[in-house]
Amino acid sequence: MSKHFFGDTAVLLGRSLRHITRSPDTIITTAIMPIAMMLMFVYVFGGAIRTGSDSYVNYMLPGILLITVASGIAYTAYRLFMDMKGGIFERFQSMPTARSSVLWAHVLTSLVANLISLVVVTLVALLMGFRSSAGVPAWLSVAGILILFTLALTWIAVIPGLSAKTMEGASAFSYPLIFLPFLSSAFVPTDTMPGPVRVFAENQPVTSIVNAIRALFTGQPVGTDIWIALAWCVGILIVAYGFAMTTYRRKIS
């Protein structure tokens, strides 16, 4: 690792954070879709959905938070794609700068941007009546899971960001990720689902992550869900990181 890695990453992180503060619409658009879904589910469908929970906002917020991240990382891919296309990526790579700093700066920017969106969405949920009995350790655990989830999805986003040919291609990969929570325990209990759908829903990563966060929010024992959730996050993170780095090396050699 180059001796300038941390300094260069900090400089480049400052650059992309400036991009975000100059076009805060990326944060707003990231937050607006989950907020709209939340409003619709709570005030339109919520009354008809039986979850066994007294407040539907409480029930669905974990899933909404995951959707927030899934839509936020589309911008990670977009920002990286713009750097590749605009040639500034090559400029940085031809300079005496730590080369991987360019990538890490994007990853950290993604983390910061998504955390801001998550805070915004959580604040709106609080206004809509979301309440949690969670103490500080439980909140920290939720934050930890969401950070891991964001990093895992961010490394997935790096792959199209580096290799896409068009801007649409760079962000289209996020649609299935946004859709995944609908086939999970995020909005309705899985036991109402027909056979094969239920099998899929109960064994895909979103369900265990949602269940773990929900348990933490309501002060219930998290059981094995949290370990399955962490295993999914770390597993996806490692695989996506591997693929992203392979794509990256192919690009710079």
Partner 1 sequence: MTTQQAAAIQVQGLEKAYKELRVLRGVDFTVARGSIFALLGSNGAGKTTAVKILSTLLKADAGTARVNGFDVATQAADVRESISLTGQFAAVDEILSGRENLVLVARLRHLKSPGEIADGLLARFSLTDAGARKVSTYSGGMRRRLDIAMSLIGNPPVIFLDEPTTGLDPQARIEVWQAVKELADRGTTVLLTTQYLDEAEQLADRIAILHEGRIIVNGTLAELKQLLPPAKVEYVEKQPTLEDVFLTLVGTKA
Identity of the residue numbered 239: V
Whether residue 181 contacts residue 66, with contact meaning beta carbons closer than 8 Å, is answered with yes
Instruction: Based on the shown chain and the rule CB under 8 A, indicate whether residue 28 belongs to the binding site for partner 1.
Output: no
Instruction: Based on the shown chain and the rule CB under 8 A, indicate whether residue 250 belongs to the binding site for partner 1.
Output: no
Residue 241 CB, nearest approach to partner 1 (Å) = 23
Number of residues that bind partner 1 (CB under 8 A): 24
Interatomic CA distance for residues 212 and 241, integer angstroms? 24
Site string for partner 1, 30-69 (x = CB under 8 A): ----------------------------------------
Instruction: Based on the shown chain and the rule CB under 8 A, indicate whether residue 8 belongs to the binding site for partner 1.
Output: yes
Among 18, 50, 165, 250, binds partner 1 (CB under 8 A): 18
Tokens 């890695």 sit at which residue?
5
Residue 245 CB, nearest approach to partner 1 (Å) = 17
Instruction: Based on the shown chain and the rule CB under 8 A, indicate whether residue 29 belongs to the binding site for partner 1.
Output: no
Residue 196 CB, nearest approach to partner 1 (Å) = 43
- Distances in Å between the Cα of 107 and the Cα atoms of 112, 114, 209, 246 are 9, 11, 21, 16
Whether residue 82 contacts residue 156, with contact meaning beta carbons closer than 8 Å, is answered with no
Residue 28 CB, nearest approach to partner 1 (Å) = 16
Q: Which is nearer to partner 1, 93 or 133 (CB)?
A: 93
**SS3 assignment, position 218:** helix
Instruction: Based on the shown chain and the rule CB under 8 A, indicate whether residue 90 belongs to the binding site for partner 1.
Output: yes
Q: Which is nearer to partner 1, 19 or 198 (CB)?
A: 19
Among 36, 88, 119, 123, binds partner 1 (CB under 8 A): 88
Interatomic CA distance for residues 41 and 58, integer angstroms? 12
- Tokens of residue 167, six digits: 């801007």
Whether residue 190 contacts residue 47, with contact meaning beta carbons closer than 8 Å, is answered with no
Which of the stretches 87-95, 106-114, 156-164, 217-225 binds partner 1 when contact is defined by CB under 8 A? 87-95
Which of the stretches 18-26, 149-157, 197-205, 218-226 binds partner 1 when contact is defined by CB under 8 A? 18-26
Among 47, 52, 87, 221, binds partner 1 (CB under 8 A): 87
Number of helices (H), then strands (E), in the chain: 11, 0
Identity of the residue numbered 97: T
Whether residue 128 contacts residue 38, with contact meaning beta carbons closer than 8 Å, is answered with yes
Neighbours of 245 (CB within 10 A): 15
**Sign of the alpha-carbon torsion through 104, 105, 106, 107:** positive
Instruction: Based on the shown chain and the rule CB under 8 A, indicate whether residue 137 belongs to the binding site for partner 1.
Output: no
**Sign of the alpha-carbon torsion through 8, 14, 15, 20:** positive
Which of the stretches 86-94, 134-142, 190-198, 229-237 binds partner 1 when contact is defined by CB under 8 A? 86-94
Residues found near partner 1 in the complex (CB under 8 A):
2, 4, 7-8, 11-12, 15, 18-19, 22-23, 86-88, 90-97, 252-253
